[in-house]
Chain A
Amino acid sequence: MDILKSIARNAAAEGNRVAFTSRAGSLTYAQLWEKSGRLAGRIDAQMGDNRDPVIVYGHKDPMMLICFLACVRSGRAYCPMDTNMPEDRLTSVAREIGNPLILIAHPEGCGLLGTKASAAACSQAERSAQANNNAQAELSEQTDNITQTEFPETEHKVISYDELRRITETSGEPGQSTPETALRACSGEDVFYIIFTSGSTGKPKGVQITADNLNGYLEWAVDLAGGIQHSRVFLNQAPYSFDLSVMDLYLSLATCGKIVSIDRELQNDIPKMIDFLSLQHIEYWVSTPSFAELCMGEPSFSADRIPSIRAFLFCGEVLTNETARRLMERFPDAKVINTYGPTETTVCVTQVRITGAMVASDSPLPVGRPGPMTRIETDPETNEIIITGNTVSPGYYKDPGRTAKVFSECETNVGGSCGLTGASADGSDSSCGSCRSYRTGDKGYLDETGMLYCEGRLDHQIKLHGYRMELEDIEANLEKLPGVSRAVVAPSRSGGRIDFLTAFIIRDGDCITDDYAGRKAVRSGLRELVPAYMVPKKIRFVEKFPMTGNGKLDRKQLEAMS
């Protein structure tokens, strides 16, 4: 698989097919290829020998895709930054790279960079993000200084949205643009994209994914859900700065599919969104489980309304038995596929089709088996999941310290091949030449058939009154109780110590009542399943859980509510 070649082929063979559509606009394969080619030439001419990563700022505009491809076709990695990122995150990433080129693929511009058309044009969400930022800047003079020195109006290299449109519409003047034949696109071990994830300690980590990583991932992923068929319709829920989006974006582009991308505003109006998805005939649903749960709050979210859905592809967080069960009830003909993998190993590395028997069983759902080019082991002492294979990132951008802590060269690879082999797309046998290992920080185990089960983060292990326990263990047991649909346990801390636990519970029907009798039933039910010290002191019934901008469960916000 060579993703750029596949897209070029699609553009040549089926150029009129729509590659991307959102409420901001649409793009055919021919347009995507042509426009990204023009922009690639311009980027290359402007940047010359500078091959630093390029920041692409925006949300769900078709220009995002054009920019991504333009960067890699010019031989530069792209770094997607969604508009939901706080501005100081953008600043710190820009500082990390060192005055990079920034492409504004957002019609409303970017406030921090002074490219905003007018204050009135900026959305409510952005305004409040900015207000937050201002408040922070007032609190910390240092932040303020950094913002000002990092982005002196005249020095940063920015291509505005209007300019991007102009560049991509018409062929550039000679001299202003590098001819296509002179461009050297990203390939092999070149970094293709960098996704910054929030490190647990302040500074974000830039996960570098190479062209080989992405191509290796796609070779495996095109077989998801029994094989992705040609020219199908994919849902894109995740913002592009969240690596879940890589699954829908590149799987779709690799198979000549259409990406239907839904923006934040639409995601906040579920009935309207369901109308939209129904009209768009979504076939492959790619989202976090939390997002599907949110949709199931709407009774109309079912096969009656969206009969086109063939499969749900989940990644990014735990898929619970309950969520899968309800989904299979609503969409009896659709496959539910669970996958697992961290950003550091290119989206996901295992997959399994969830069956009725798995859902009905008492044990949590499996996350799947790896493909032929990935090996999974667990640390015999800590049960930490360790992933080795051709999709493991070379490490964090400009951060050898944090890279060395979790990444290593595949040991068996020293002096030869590690034995991971598989057939590549062109039919030849490919073997792992230079694969790496990554320690995930997730806990899990492999059963006797090689099926992986993930039991959550190692760092969700807490200590309460001297007892060591797993929040996820308590949650899984709460969810066994009749009448409990979902449970999340959040610790209340004071002075770095945990005082007590609060269980937030979404009820299923009314067999647990929303009063003291219900809270008591939960406590006494749980006491029969776990030791008394693990029973949360506070039980709170809620309608739904808060979600992060990426559509994952927001544990921090729950902690603040406890």
Chain B
Amino acid sequence: MEEKVLKILENICGDEVVSEEPDINLVEEHLMESFDYITLLMDLQDQLGVIISPTEYTREEMDTPNKIIAIVKQKLEEA
């Protein structure tokens, strides 16, 4: 699962640094613009079946690869 999320993030952000440094701040580093955030939510749904609505979390709660992985993990356990 982790690998899948990182792969999705690499595609969206266009830089392998998201896998190398999973605590990197995607927003501050301009790796993920708001358009990309919507793509992320759609890809998570398509590829992992995890549904997150755009208003469910703030951008700060989803601004590093590790935070995103933790939320996806939590969602999968709840399901």
Contacts and interface: CB of A to CB of B under 8 A. Distances in A.
Contacts of A537: 13-14
Interface string B34-45: 010000000000
Contacts of B15: 516, 519, 538-539
Given A523-B30, A537-B14, A539-B15, A516 B20 contact: yes
Given A516-B21, A527-B30, 10 more contacts: A500-B14, A502-B14, A516-B15, A516-B20, A519-B17, A523-B30, A536-B14, A537-B13, A538-B15, A539-B14
Q: Classify chain A's interface size.
A: 10 to 19
* Most A C-beta atoms less than 10 A away, residue of B14, B15, B21, B33: B14
A436 to B, nearest CB: 47
Contacts of A502: 14
A67 B18 CA distance: 60
Given A465-B35, A523-B30, A524-B30, A538 B17 contact: no
B29 interface: yes
- Interface of B (DSSP majority class): loop
Interface string A502-522: 100000000000001001100
Contacts of A524: 30
A538 B20 CA distance: 16
* Most A C-beta atoms less than 10 A away, residue of B13, B17, B20: B17
Across the A-B interface, the 5 shortest Cβ-Cβ residue pairs = A537-B14, A538-B14, A516-B17, A519-B15, A500-B14
A376 to B, nearest CB: 40
Interface of B: 13-15, 17, 20-21, 29-30, 33, 35
A131 interface: no
B29 A520 contact: yes
Nearest to B14: A537
13 contacts: A465-B35, A500-B14, A502-B14, A516-B15, A516-B20, A519-B17, A520-B29, A523-B30, A532-B33, A537-B14, A538-B14, A539-B14, A539-B15
A72 to B, nearest CB: 53
A536 B31 CA distance: 11
B53 to A, nearest CB: 22
Interface in A533-562: 536-539
A204 B58 CA distance: 55
B70 to A, nearest CB: 23
Nearest to A516: B17
Contacts of A500: 14
A500 B31 CA distance: 13
B68 to A, nearest CB: 18
A537 B30 CA distance: 10
Contacts of B35: 465
A516 B13 CA distance: 12
Nearest to A517: B17
Interface in A1-33: none
A343 B13 CA distance: 41
B19 to A, nearest CB: 11
Contacts of A520: 29
